[in-house]
Structure 1
């Protein structure tokens, strides 16, 4: 019996590193140009009389370096649910009704792209990691996505709510552990281990994954779920907290590899905002091209919270595939950091 158990355990564990085998991304259908958003916002909220506030909002939008964003809400939907446009109106029910349906659908669109690129049958998917900051319901979006994709009813599901910007990295970390200790898992990315030569096309190996709480950062990012929806409060010190502490995490990850030149690796940095990227670049002395992919995603999509890291990873993959090595010249064996 002991020999049989040992054989089963050996078969369950991977021999190699977890590997990103495919990436899929998706956005809501409604594209809103940042340059016209202040006019749109103040019109639909019946606030055009607040001219000074509107001008301030225009300046904020212009300095953000964001060109466009994608939203599910349209003017027609907002007219149907007018409480969403009224400050502090109890609109949580309407918001929940929308996201509970639409979030799994958007996840399905991204997952289907990744599964198609992967090229393997869905029956090989054994684990599903799902993360969202939109909506809380039972059964969760992980259950709904399993049904929408037609995955096995016995797929092992992991659901994360309200993790904010770092949820993408957390999902990758969980997928790494699952892939190296079990079999393949799926989400916006397909993560597995020991890829089949000639069948699966490995994109990125996941060598190490960690998480840390920055000192003195309590209250820097908080969210409160109220009758009017989810209220987020972001401290202006967030760029400082990140830029002052990021090198410690880099040293912990790369010191054993003998790497201390942060321009010698490629960067998949979460584009949480222009100031965050600017201060990271300045603090670490990064060349402008190192954060090109992150700035591109910020410009084209804005801050999409947890999904951002997958969009940047996809952009980096496109650069490598298209031979845009000039953006990452000098990368040591194409080692990189995802943060």
Structure 2
């Protein structure tokens, strides 16, 4: 039976207050949009976010041009070079916080914010001197639910190889893709997303493990396909994240929960903890209302959102780590995340 042995997390050195990021955004936005931006940030539920870019909290810029228009605006090539420079060290920072990352048989890397080949997987093997015959899998460009996909792969590897010991490395540098065009999608994305990394060990060893992986379930809400998207453009990756997403999720969350729990022979009353991907404050509030949960039941998600923002696929590991010291033996956890498609992933775990 597969288990999450340990989770370690890391963030870049630049911690920005949400009000400072708002000032940066207002400084490059048309004046008639300032009030709208202020309202979005006020309702975000976020206090601080981390970034590999210092500009969002400083008067002087080091990445973006000093011009009012930010021209020449950084190209996708410039942003990918920044990803290559920063992502590896952030991953290593998380990995080195693990108690033991020896005897790794499989390496799964996860990101949707930077792409290259040779990629992060090979860079990690060189940096950490991992075996060159290690089995490598890269989960790329799936969005906020990709961490669940990585855990599903690790679960499969463990079930087919008794001595499997999988290292999942998930890193997202969302803030390198800031877009300045005044659209609702950009305003929302710029108010939510942040940078972070997680390192996770999955194996068949229950000794001192965090959680047991019980079962996965996925649903595709195609009516929301155009509401969340992630595309490559000349000035970076473009996020579509419109204001209807919380409504789409609320309309489909009961079906996801019902089917997932049924597959795992559980009832709603047997769920002791909830580990929901904090895609945004409105998303959490919509799920809370639809499932008639109390806010305290989503406390771990709200706390991660407040302290870190939305770090795309890495965020769910921050939430699970937050729950680690709360969950008791044999208590059930329902976890879920969302992304382009509109994809809804879920996972049931059990405390060890």
Which residue is equivalent to 1:280?
Answer: 287
More off after superposition, 62-71 vs 218-227: 218-227
More off after superposition, 172-181 vs 270-279: 172-181
Which residue is equivalent to 2:175?
Answer: none
Q: Are 1:263 and 1:287, in contact at CA under 8 Å, matched by a contact in 2?
A: no
Which residue is equivalent to 1:335?
Answer: 332
Q: Are 1:105 and 1:145, in contact at CA under 8 Å, matched by a contact in 2?
A: no
Aligned with residue 148 of structure 2, among 160, 164, 169: 169
- Based on CA coordinates, which of the two structures has the bigger radius of gyration? 1
Aligned with residue 315 of structure 1, among 316, 322, 331: 322
CA distance in 1, matches of 2:49, 2:74: 25
Q: Which runs of 5+ in 2 are unaligned?
A: 169-198, 337-352
CA distance in 2, matches of 1:132, 1:83: 30
CA distance in 2, matches of 1:163, 1:130: 12
Aligned with residue 86 of structure 2, among 102, 127, 142: 102
Count of residues in Structure 1 that have an aligned counterpart in Structure 2:
300
Aligned with residue 166 of structure 2, among 160, 179, 185: 185
TM-score, normalising length: structure 1: 0.82
Query: Counterpart of 1:265 in 2: which secondary structure?
Result: strand
Alignment of 1:162-311 (within 5 A): 162-182=141-161, 183-187=164-168, 188-195=199-206, 200-255=207-262, 257-261=264-268, 264-311=271-318
- When you count helix as a share of all residues, which structure comes out higher? 1
CA distance in 2, matches of 1:231, 1:256: 36
CA distance in 1, matches of 2:290, 2:141: 29
- When you count strand as a share of all residues, which structure comes out higher? 2
Alignment of 1:88-127 (within 5 A): 89=73, 91-114=75-98, 116=99, 119=100, 122=102, 124-127=103-106
* Residue 72 (1) aligns with residue 72 (2): no
Q: Are 1:127 and 1:156, in contact at CA under 8 Å, matched by a contact in 2?
A: yes
Deviation track 1:193-243 (CA, whole Å, cap 9, x = no partner) reads 134xxxx41110001113221141211211221111111011222112212
Which residue is equivalent to 2:32?
Answer: 52
Q: Which runs of 5+ in 1 are unaligned?
A: 1-16, 326-331
